[in-house]
Chains A and B, each alone.
Chain A
Amino acid sequence: MSAIETHQDDLTSKFGMWLFLYTEMLLFGGLFIVYSVYRYRNAAAFHLASEELSVAVGTVNTIILLISSTTIAMSITAIRKHNKKLALILLCSTILLGLAFLVNKYFEWGEHLREHIYPGSNILALRGHGDVLFYGLYYFMTGLHALHIIVGLVFIVIVTVSVAKAKINADNFVLLENGGLYWHLVDLIWIFLFPLFYLIT
């Protein structure tokens, strides 16, 4: 395939990925709408409930994702400079950071679950409407986000294997770019989830 044709195909592929990202933005957008409405109607309760979340863990997780976005972005530079080894190191770092995020989430959720704060629990219902809605949104939005992290990690693993096999290389790296785009979106969503749940005290 000629260089022009490959380039055309790359642009087509990237275009498709961007359009898919737009659907994800709208998907989470719907939840941000729900959040906005219920935050408006239960401002005080949301403030108080937010204090029960650990800002420290949230901040660490935010920084983890920011670093992971950096590593995957750098891996594109690496592959384009024919530095396959560095690209692999960066991609593996991205995966590890993503897993670290999930582990943090697991412990965070675990704490709340131990206190019987979860959708449908009587304890939560007794605390009042504001709390029910805050935690409902918390679990649903961070849960959906975590699901996307998992999907993103699977995508990146596939990409990493392709890099190792040199199927992704300096002349053909659109799959890596697309994987990066998806991962950055996951990071973007968290950039907004973080202040809305942890910093509204």
Chain B
Amino acid sequence: MSDQKMTEEPSYLEHKGKYKGILSWILSTDHKRIGILYLYSILAFFAIGASIGLLMKFELIAPGKTIMTAQTYNAFFTLHGIVMIFAVVIPGLPAVFGNFMLPLMIGAKDVAFPRLNLLSWYFYVTGVLLVVISQFLGGSAPDTGWTFYAPYSFRTAGNMLPAVFGAFVLGFSSILTGLNFLVTIHRLRAPGMTWLKMPLFPWTLYATGWVQLLATPIIGITLLMIVAERVFHIGFFDPTLGGDPILYQHLFWTYSHPAVYIMILPAMGAISEIIPTFSHKTVFGYRFIVGSSLAIAFVGYFVWGHHMFTSGMSSVALYVFSLLTFLVAIPSAVKVFNWISTMHKGSIDLQTPLYWAVAFIFVFMIGGFSGLVLGSLAADIHLHNTHFVVAHFHFIVFGGTGYAFFGAMHYWYPKITGKMYDSRWANIGLLLFFVGFTTLYGMMFYLGFKGMPRRYYDYDEMFHFANIISTMGSWIMYSGLAIIIINLFASLKSGTKAPADPWGGKTLEWTIPSPPPAENFEEIPIVTKGPYNYK
């Protein structure tokens, strides 16, 4: 279990390398330090995106103008989307936990291309800075929504170029991370770790890597075309010049749908690590989880049209996309059965990460079912562009990726920091967060069903009461968030020292000290058994 070798090696946090101070962090090619760099950057941008969300909900507490004009509201939901999607949930789990944990979990000293890894972070920072700049230059802040739909995106006076270019640069970060992980998994697994002995989080990072690699270039070229429209009036999406705005949507969603699998696959991978550990039982149906992860990545390429049901596509396209959308739900559902079966008759250890995992299953299922509702053509005609859609994607993305992120954060906190967090405050925070979350977004299902449009700063009086409840939900949720995050920071100072394996985990990261030494393993382990081999 815990291989406590008497090692004098300092941890990666204390390691003395070529540089000192802040330089030893921002010039480090150590995957663990890069993971921490991403963690703090992503946290910072999550705070920005969340604050904007809070203000948006406050605007919506009453019809008419509450605290901002319509133009400001448009700029806010645009920035909220760009930050949350491109700077938080897409990098999210891969950049933080993939970077930190992948080499540890496969028994490697680092990723395949450590310098490329650091470059990926530089691209990330550059990309987000460009997006921030777009808020403050001449013109006005971008107001197209994060989806940059043509023709408005090349006609609006907003500062689209830095925002679009920022997203483009962020795409590079994503591609390079995926590339790095794919090569790492292929080439750097410890001796004896065959593909089917590899733990599930690395498997999902593998599936995700292919999506990052093969889908992101499509949005890259599409964003370049938007730039060409704005600067050169090239005409690709301009109806007055012969272009088709729907083609923009096709190209945009050909990436942005697989993008949601970039968000959710590593999340499912993290959940697949947490559940066996706190059930003290091996994963039920390991091969099905592997297979369904790959199936999701593959089928996920072919469903993008379900974002475009009301756009003007042909009827044939509508039927095909709706059918494929129902198909892709199957492998996702398979996983839920696997997780629950893993817990069944397990020896359950009620800890914070498990609470997050169970909460994840709950909100993910609600998000998933609501996706099926939207995938049904007739229902979608009524629900498209209403708050029902907003509820759906917050349940499945914030609920999915977000909960898994917090679960992973608490699960691997001892390994990363060498400290234990205060579990009482962690659980209180979780409870508050969960109650607030379900209130905030649950009300939106009702509102959307009743017809309240999304991306409007005003609404009919009939929606008022439900909006009040929803906004109050946001306050509860943010209090929960604040407690969770403050607890994580406070525990850095006051937490008890963590052993190598506080949870009784069976994967390789738990065989080395907490926090790990700079080189990870004194000797590369030789693997003989599969993961999760509980008795």
Contact = CB atoms under 8 A, between A and B. Distances in A.
B519 interface: no
Nearest to A23: B217
Contact of B232 (A8, A33, A42, A120): A120
Contact of A30 (B113, B187, B213, B221): B221
23 contacts: A8-B187, A11-B187, A15-B187, A16-B113, A19-B213, A23-B175, A23-B179, A23-B213, A26-B215, A27-B218, A27-B221, A28-B221, A29-B217, A30-B218, A34-B225, A118-B232, A119-B232, A119-B235, A129-B242, A130-B242, A133-B241, A137-B236, A140-B234
B235 A16 contact: no
A37 B225 CA distance: 15
Contacts of A137: 236
Interface stretch (B22-30, B243-251, B378-386, B458-466): B243-251
Nearest to B241: A132
B346 to A, nearest CB: 38
Contact of B235 (A20, A22, A27, A136): A136
B216 interface: yes
B220 interface: yes
Given A34-B251, A120-B234, A136-B236, A23 B243 contact: no
Nearest to A24: B217
Nearest to A34: B236
Majority secondary structure of chain A interface residues (helix, strand, loop or mixed): helix
Contacts of A41: 244
A19 B213 CA distance: 8
B196 interface: no
A30 B217 contact: yes
A23 B171 CA distance: 11
A62 to B, nearest CB: 23
B234 A136 contact: yes
B43 to A, nearest CB: 28
A16 B182 CA distance: 9
A140 B244 contact: no
Interface string A113-151: 000001110000100111011001101100010000000
A116 to B, nearest CB: 14
B44 interface: no
A31 interface: yes
Contacts of A136: 228, 234-236, 241
A140 B229 CA distance: 11
A129 B250 CA distance: 20
A144 to B, nearest CB: 8
B56 to A, nearest CB: 32
Given A12-B187, A120-B232, A19 B218 contact: no
A34 B248 CA distance: 9
B181 to A, nearest CB: 10
Contacts of A11: 187
B217 A27 contact: yes
A33 B224 CA distance: 15
A33 B236 CA distance: 12
B220 A27 contact: yes
A136 B220 CA distance: 18
A22 B183 contact: no
A33 B221 CA distance: 11
B214 interface: yes
A145 to B, nearest CB: 13
Contacts of B215: 26
Contacts of A27: 217-218, 220-221
Contact of A129 (B175, B217, B218, B241): B241
A200 to B, nearest CB: 17
B144 interface: no
A155 interface: no
A173 interface: no
Interface in B190-247: 213-218, 220-222, 224-225, 228, 232-236, 241-244, 247
A38 interface: yes
Contacts of B220: 27, 30
A14 B113 CA distance: 12
B242 A132 contact: yes
Contact of A22 (B112, B113, B214, B233): B214
Contact of B112 (A12, A26, A38, A125): A12
Contact of B242 (A28, A33, A38): A38
Contact of A16 (B112, B217, B242, B247): B112
B186 interface: yes
B248 to A, nearest CB: 10
A19 B179 contact: yes
Contact of A33 (B182, B214, B251): B251
Nearest to A134: B242
Contacts of B175: 23
Contact of A20 (B179, B221, B232): B179
A12 to B, nearest CB: 5
Contacts of B234: 119-120, 136, 139-140
